[in-house]
């Protein structure tokens, strides 16, 4: 399998990259880790005339955590770096875990969280947790930059809210409020390396034994990552009991719209939404108590 | 337009002009004649093409050659630079019979080297996780895991053997 021919540029600054992208127009694609884009090119699903490599841009791979603000993950920060970053492991364990559970060692050494989001696969491992944690993406264009809640970034399979000429430069994850826990759960046919057949990200905030608010995001069961809003409403303001968790799982399953494909049947997926939602809620509750 | 790149492979300096669409795998195998690194699936699933770039294992089939400009690469040929004295990892693979058809071996050994350089005493689970990006079509995983465990012990014992 060979790559089709293309022109390659490795700009050193974001401005240069944005100018190139504007100048080359629709035939140009930006490249971070390449673990999705190059495969699509080898399979002849994409045939860009120009590739703009982003990894040479100074500072775009920066991971920055500030206690008062939150976490910023640069667009070219590797999945492996996010998975092992001490501040992320400590303050955002579900974000680190989702990065760690993405693909395999080699892909995590090449691929990026930003790329996982921009590729916009419904099964993207890093999307559910980040949406549940109210992450924003920072999108830069020649006219300036804009911030968009990640919740609004996904339009369809492989389609995002990125406008022509825009580049995602970073992902911002606010610091969770006190008594808040998060969790990422996923399942696939072949253990860890396989693409997730179902994945669930949760962030839940508690007051004593009452759930103040929960965000539940399902992956791989709809054209884009999906907020299970009825399940969120069901647990909000309620006393935390086994029965409530049970019901929330059922509700999330009802809201999911999975298809049957090579990875799992829609019936199985729906069942697993219930199971994984319950697991995620339980883990988030456990973690919230520790904080 | 060809791009000029300078990089190191197993300590040797190379300076090449490459087309941007050529992968590191193609350049290693075709231009440098380092055919120890294999090409399996070509889509980053099987790990047969694994090499180490600046201390991180990558799939050379998904790495553009232009992107390794200025970097240092280690391939399976670098494990036994003399071509005679084998590395502890290679010796352990032979000892346990961890090689059947041999196609995955180079990638397995590079992943093993990467694992052991970061974790000199991995348990079985850690070894299996470290190899999660390498498939063995002969399914000889148990022997491979055993080999890495033996190699780890050997490498801990002899500090003289360079891990990096």
What domains lie within chain A, and their CATH numbers? 7-53 (3.30.43.10), 63-174 (3.30.465.10), 180-290 (3.30.390.50)
From chain A, the residues in CB contact with B130 under 8 A are: 105
Listed residue (A63, A83, A124) closest to B129, CA to CA: A83
Give how far B63 is from chain A: nearest CA, Å.
7
From chain A, the residues in CB contact with B148 under 8 A are: none
Q: Cβ of A39 and B43 within 8 Å?
A: yes
- Which bin fits B35, alpha (ψ -120 to 50), beta or left (φ > 0)? alpha
Q: Cβ of B58 and A109 within 8 Å?
A: yes
E strands, chain B, in order: 3-9, 12-18, 50-53, 56-59, 72-74
Please name the residue of chain B whose CA is at the shortest distance from the CA of residue A81. Answer: B56
Number of H helices, E strands in chain A: 11, 14
Mutation for testing the B interface, residue in A61, A84, A103, A106 having most B CBs under 10 Å: A106
Q: Cβ of B132 and A110 within 8 Å?
A: no
Query: What pLDDT is stored for residue A82 in this prediction?
Result: 98
Pick A104's closest partner by Cβ from B23, B64, B133: B133
Taking residues B95-109, what's their average pLDDT? 97
Query: What pLDDT is stored for residue A189 in this prediction?
Result: 84
Query: What pLDDT is stored for residue B164 in this prediction?
Result: 45
Is residue B47 within 8 Å of residue B141, measured between CB atoms?
no
Percent of chain B with pLDDT over 70: 96
Query: What pLDDT is stored for residue A176 in this prediction?
Result: 95
Q: Cβ of A106 and B57 within 8 Å?
A: yes
A43 burial (CB, 10 Å; 0-12 / 13-18 / 19+) is exposed
Burial readout A266-278 (b: 16 or more C-beta within 10 A, e: otherwise): eebbbbbbbebbb
Taking residues B81-104, what's their average pLDDT? 95
Give how far A233 is from chain B: nearest CA, Å.
38
Is CATH 3.40.50.300 what the domain over B3-79 is classified as, yes or no? no
Is residue B43 within 8 Å of residue B62, measured between CB atoms?
yes
Residues carrying CATH 1.10.150.120, chain B: 88-157
Residues carrying CATH 3.10.20.30, chain B: 3-79
Alpha carbon distance A51, A21 (integer Å): 9
Q: Is residue B158's pLDDT more than 90?
A: no
Q: Cβ of B133 and A34 within 8 Å?
A: no
| Residue ranges in chain A whose pLDDT is less than 70 | 192
B160 falls in which pLDDT band (50, 70, 90)?
low
Give A73's strand partners: A63, A171
Q: Is residue B58's pLDDT more than 70?
A: yes
Q: Is residue B163's pLDDT more than 70?
A: no
Angstrom CA distances, B161 to A223, A225, B121, stand at 52, 48, 15
Decide which of 1.10.150.120, 3.30.505.10, 1.10.3720.10, 3.50.30.50 is the CATH code for B88-157.
1.10.150.120
Please name the residue of chain A whose CA is at the shortest distance from the CA of residue B130. Answer: A105
Query: What pLDDT is stored for residue A290 in this prediction?
Result: 81
Q: How far from chain centre, in Å, is Cα A28?
A: 24
Query: What pLDDT is stored for residue B159 in this prediction?
Result: 60
């Amino acid at each position: 399998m060979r790559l089709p021919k293309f022109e390659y540029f490795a700009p050193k600054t974001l401005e240069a990259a944005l100018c190139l992208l504007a100048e080359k127009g629709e035939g140009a694609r930006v490249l971070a880790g390449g673990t999705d884009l190059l495969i699509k090119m080898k399979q002849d699903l994409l045939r860009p005339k120009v590739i703009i490599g982003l990894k040479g841009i100074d500072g775009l791979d920066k991971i920055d955590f500030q206690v008062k603000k939150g976490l910023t993950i640069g667009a070219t920060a590797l999945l492996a770096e996010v998975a092992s970053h001490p501040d992320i492991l400590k303050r955002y364990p579900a974000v680190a875990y989702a990065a760690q559970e993405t693909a395999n060692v080699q892909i995590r050494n090449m691929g990026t969280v930003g790329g996982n989001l921009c590729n916009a696969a419904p099964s993207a491992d890093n999307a559910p947790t980040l949406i549940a944690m109210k992450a924003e993406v920072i999108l830069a264009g020649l006219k300036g930059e804009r911030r968009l809640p990640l919740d609004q970034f996904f339009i369809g399979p492989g389609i995002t809210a990125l406008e022509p000429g825009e580049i995602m430069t970073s992902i911002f994850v606010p610091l969770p409020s006190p008594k808040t826990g998060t969790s990422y759960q996923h399942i696939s046919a072949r253990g860890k390396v396989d693409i997730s057949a179902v994945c669930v990200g949760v962030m839940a905030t508690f007051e004593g034994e009452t759930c103040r608010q929960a965000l539940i995001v399902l992956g791989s069961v709809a054209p884009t990552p999906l907020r299970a809003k009825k399940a969120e409403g069901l647990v909000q303001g309620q006393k935390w009991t086994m029965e409530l968790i049970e019901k929330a799982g059922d509700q999330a399953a009802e809201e999911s719209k999975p298809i049957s494909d090579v990875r799992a049947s829609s019936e199985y997926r729906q069942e697993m939404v219930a199971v994984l939602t319950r697991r995620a809620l339980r883990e988030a509750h456990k973690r919230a108590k520790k904080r | 337009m060809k791009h000029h790149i300078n990089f190191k492979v197993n300590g040797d300096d190379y300076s090449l002009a490459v087309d941007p669409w050529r992968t590191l795998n193609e350049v290693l195998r075709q231009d440098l004649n380092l055919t120890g690194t294999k090409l399996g699936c070509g889509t980053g699933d099987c790990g047969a093409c694994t090499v180490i770039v600046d201390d991180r294992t990558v799939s050379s089939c998904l790495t553009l050659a232009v992107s390794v400009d200025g970097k240092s690469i280690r391939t399976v040929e670098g494990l036994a630079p003399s071509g005679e004295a084998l590395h502890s990892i290679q010796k352990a693979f032979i000892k346990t019979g961890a090689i059947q058809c041999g196609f995955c071996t180079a990638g397995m050994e590079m992943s093993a080297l990467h694992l052991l350089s970061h974790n000199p005493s991995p348990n079985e689970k850690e070894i299996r996780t470290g190899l999660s990006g390498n498939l063995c079509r002969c399914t000889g995983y148990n022997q491979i895991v055993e080999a890495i465990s033996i190699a780890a012990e050997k490498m801990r014992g002899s500090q003289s053997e360079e891990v990096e």
